[in-house]
């Protein structure tokens, strides 16, 4: 992956990419270990699936332009928090907070920023839990704290976000009011569904405990 920037910065960019790629690996391993431990102790899998990506050079350049900054590696590292991004999809809302806590508790992880769009959904209905964290990357001569954006959401929230994303691009951010209204309604249905599924799951859990007793 090459960024269309000046040649004298190409080396610097390759180094930065190595860090972001390593940070994704670190976070992915942490998530996998967490999930395996959970399966072992609670006999259930809180994570449905995980996707990670490095932001495309075009999107990075667009964001830097949007922030009215000069396109330099230094500015990317400083201002673009989501060059490395991980999305964790869970079954239940309660899993989201459990996973976020477990990540935050790890001693080498620093939580730089949290946005809880579940407690406080966005105006358009978007709901998800966001964390910007940093993890130390050990190179031969030094240790570099590297940022990763982690988004944690339920399957239903992810379903909504994918469609909203598609609509946003289709209308270049100017979707007709009727469509925006329907999306907001869908987000309420998503929230209702997540609540229902969670309480149903809690009920099933207590039911099996009763039977075992
Ligand atoms: P950017 O949106 O990345 O410029 O940063 P920000 O500071 O606004 O961060 P925020 O935590 O609000 O959003 C980070 C990411 O969450 C975005 O890049 C998207 O991937 C996702 N996201 C935020 N808002 C929405 C939304 O309204 N719809 C969808 N589909 N995704 C969103
Ligand atoms: Mg982003």
ipTM of the complex: 0.95
Cα-trace Rg, the chain: 20
Q: Which residues are catalytic?
A: 149
Whether residue 7 is predicted with pLDDT greater than 90 in this model: the reply is no
Nearest CA to ligand 1 atom 7: 81
Q: pLDDT band for position 32 (50/70/90)? A: very high
> Which ligand has the minimum distance to the alpha carbon of residue 131?
1
The residue-averaged pLDDT of 57-65 equals: 95
In a mutational test of the pocket of ligand 1, which residue from 53, 149, 187 has the highest number of ligand atoms less than 8 Å from its CB? 149
Ligand 1 cavity residues, CB under 6 Å:
82, 115, 122, 124, 126, 130, 151, 161, 164-165
41 — phi, psi (to 5°)? -90, -30
Q: What confidence score (pLDDT) does residue 6 get?
A: 56
The residue-averaged pLDDT of 5-33 equals: 90
Average pLDDT over the chain, rounded to an integer: 93
Whether residue 211 is predicted with pLDDT greater than 90 in this model: the reply is no
Structure-token match 């907001």, residue found: 184
For residue range 62-85, what is the model confidence (pLDDT) as tens digits? Answer: 999 999 999 999 999 999 999 999
Whether residue 30 is predicted with pLDDT greater than 90 in this model: the reply is yes
Distance between CA 95 and CA 59 in Å, rounded? Answer: 30
Whether residue 5 is predicted with pLDDT greater than 60 in this model: the reply is no
Q: What confidence score (pLDDT) does residue 43 get?
A: 83
For residue range 98-122, what is the model confidence (pLDDT) as tens digits? Answer: 999 999 999 999 999 999 999 999 9
Q: What confidence score (pLDDT) does residue 205 get?
A: 84
Structure-token match 């999930």, residue found: 35
Cβ burial 156-183 (10 Å sphere, 16+ → b, else e)? bbbebbeebeebeeeeeeebeeeebeeb
For residue range 133-191, what is the model confidence (pLDDT) as tens digits? Answer: 999 999 999 999 999 999 999 999 999 999 999 999 999 999 999 999 999 999 999 99
Nearest CA to ligand 1 atom 4: 63
């Amino acid at each position: 992956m090459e960024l269309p920037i000046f040649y004298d910065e190409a080396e610097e960019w390759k180094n930065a990419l190595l860090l972001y790629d390593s940070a994704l690996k670190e976070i992915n391993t942490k998530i996998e270990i967490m999930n395996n431990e959970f399966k072992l102790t609670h006999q259930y899998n809180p994570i449905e699936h995980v996707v990670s990506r490095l932001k495309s050079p075009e999107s990075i350049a667009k964001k830097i332009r949007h922030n009215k900054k000069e396109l330099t590696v230094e500015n990317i590292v400083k201002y673009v928090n989501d060059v490395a991004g991980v999305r964790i999809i869970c079954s239940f809302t309660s899993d989201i907070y459990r996973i976020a806590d477990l990540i935050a508790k790890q001693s080498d992880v620093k939580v730089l920023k949290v946005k809880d769009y579940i407690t406080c959904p966005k105006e358009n209905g978007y709901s998800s839990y966001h964390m910007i964290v940093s993890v130390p990357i050990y190179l031969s001569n030094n240790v570099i704290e590297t940022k990763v954006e982690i988004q944690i959401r339920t399957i239903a929230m992810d379903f909504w976000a994918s469609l909203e994303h598609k609509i946003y691009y289709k209308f270049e951010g100017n979707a007709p009011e009727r469509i925006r209204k329907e999306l907001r309604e869908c987000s309420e249905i998503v929230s209702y569904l997540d609540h229902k599924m969670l309480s149903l799951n809690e009920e099933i859990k207590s039911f099996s405990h009763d039977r075992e007793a």
